[in-house]
Structure 1
Amino acid sequence: MSKLAGIQAVERPPTLSRRAYLQIQQAIRDGVLKSGVMYSENELAEQLGMSRTPVREAVISLSREGIIEIASQRGFRLRELSVLERTEIFDLRALLEPYVAGRLATTRTAEQVDQLRGLLDEQQLLVENPKDPQTFLDLDERFHLLQAEYLGLERTRSTMANLRGAMWLLGFEALSLPHRYADVVREHRAILDAIERENSEDARRAAHEHILQTARAADHLDR
């Protein structure tokens, strides 16, 4: 039997459970869902305009990722990260993100560098007018995950995304850190400049320093 070539897969719209998953995840990121509060799946389903089943499936998925705790017959709540879990998250980021930046420095294209620099230019505008921390954080996430996408490292990207999802349990305030905006952009530019120069060692070093400074800032704010 001959192989078929040139036929692209049909893009399917996200399922209801996937839509519920993404909307719950966004609510966590936006600080709408807060730590220490018990939430009802039925009420959330009504709020999202869908049945309880896809919401339940989304909650179970987030529970498996360690983001949500399900309380039998009572609903669900956000998990609270232990000190050990927080340390582990930043340690894993410090392993993965320098690895990605270092590899990208050996393969980057001018177009990829321009796209990443565009994200940093958008972040810079928010440094000068820090009224939208959510957009700043979205750009931050995109800057890091896009590097893995360029390399085709799907497992690495997925792991990075899951780690960043867990970080939202630190709380929106602990992650937005407006006083860190200028430093974050400067640290991002150091990573990108090294990538553009095709200097893998400098890219890894700059990415590692960025994670270290982020961990220190989050830890200091939480004390």
Structure 2
Amino acid sequence: MPRLTGVGAVERPKTLSRSAYLGIQQAIRDGAIIQGTLYSENELAETLGMSRTPVREALIALAREGLVEIESQRGFRLRQLSDAQRWEVFDLRLLLEPYVARKLAECATEDGVRRLTELVDGQEELSGADLQSAFLALDEEFHLLMPQLVGLERSHDILVSLRGAMWLMGFEALSLPQRHSAVIAEHRAIVAAIAAHDPDAAAGAAHEHIVKTAAAVS
């Protein structure tokens, strides 16, 4: 059978449930949806400007991912992670992220180092009411960029799967005095070791950063 040529892929428009999913996900990451509050599905649908059905579908997907808990006929709330669940997330990060930093230090390019540095610079330049949500967005981009730069697709996918739990804990960590400046310093130490092509130092800096982040939310 001859191959088709000159036919481009069709970009599928986002479904309403996908749009709702992304909107709720963003609200969780940004801290607009907070721990300890029961939210109405109907009010959320009104806020998003859509019917309840796609919002319900989005919440079911987020519940499967462990981000929310749905209470029948009442609404939904953010999932409260147990201490064991929190430590599992950080244990997985401690296994994976020093490995990623080590591999990246072995082959980092100037462009890769520049991109990481720009993200940390962006964190340092933040100020104002949206500081925490913007800071967390850049933090996520920083940590997910490293496996991308070295082509570690499975590592990247695993880290993506852990980000939801980090959103549930992120604002707790950043509420501590001086944690913003500490995170920036820790990120710069990781980048410096990668730029110096020092795998041991890069792995050590990544390990120290995750240990300190875990201590901030314990």
Common fold: TM-score over 0.5: yes
Distance change (3 Å), C-alpha of 1:186 and 1:25? same
Secondary structure, aligned partner of 1:50: coil
Matching residue of 2:103: 103
Matching residue of 1:65: 65
Secondary structure, aligned partner of 2:69: strand
**Are the equivalent residues in 2 in contact too, given 1:148–1:157 (CA < 8 A)?**
yes
User: For the residues of structure 1 that align with 2:142 and 2:121, how far apart are their CA atoms?
Assistant: 11
Secondary structure, aligned partner of 1:211: helix
Residues matched between the structures, number: 217
Distance change (3 Å), C-alpha of 1:15 and 1:178? farther
C-alpha RMSD of matched pairs (Å)? 2.2
Matching residue of 1:214: 213
Matching residue of 1:201: 200
Per-residue deviation, 1:198: 1.9
Per-residue deviation, 1:215: 0.8
Matching residue of 1:145: 144
**Are the equivalent residues in 2 in contact too, given 1:192–1:203 (CA < 8 A)?**
yes
Per-residue deviation, 1:43: 1.8
Per-residue deviation, 1:155: 3.4
Secondary structure, aligned partner of 2:106: coil
**Are the equivalent residues in 2 in contact too, given 1:101–1:200 (CA < 8 A)?**
yes
User: For the residues of structure 2 that align with 1:26 and 1:100, how far apart are their CA atoms?
Assistant: 26
- What's the CA shift string for 1:88-143, capped at 9, x where partnerless? 111111112112111222232211111111111112223xx565122122111111
Instruction: State the TM-score, normalizing by the size of structure 1.
Output: 0.87
Matching residue of 1:90: 90
- What's the CA shift string for 1:18-73, capped at 9, x where partnerless? 22111111211222212222222222111101122221121111111111111122
Matching residue of 2:163: 164
Structure 2 unmatched runs, 5+:
none
Per-residue deviation, 1:145: 0.7
Matching residue of 2:37: 37
**Are the equivalent residues in 1 in contact too, given 2:39–2:76 (CA < 8 A)?**
yes
Structure 1 unmatched runs, 5+:
none
User: For the residues of structure 1 that align with 2:132 and 2:89, how far apart are their CA atoms?
Assistant: 22
* Most deviating of 107-116 and 168-177: 168-177
* Aligned residue type for 2:74: R
- What's the CA shift string for 1:141-173, capped at 9, x where partnerless? 111111122233343223212322112223624
* Aligned residue type for 1:32: A
User: For the residues of structure 2 that align with 1:138 and 1:103, how far apart are their CA atoms?
Assistant: 24
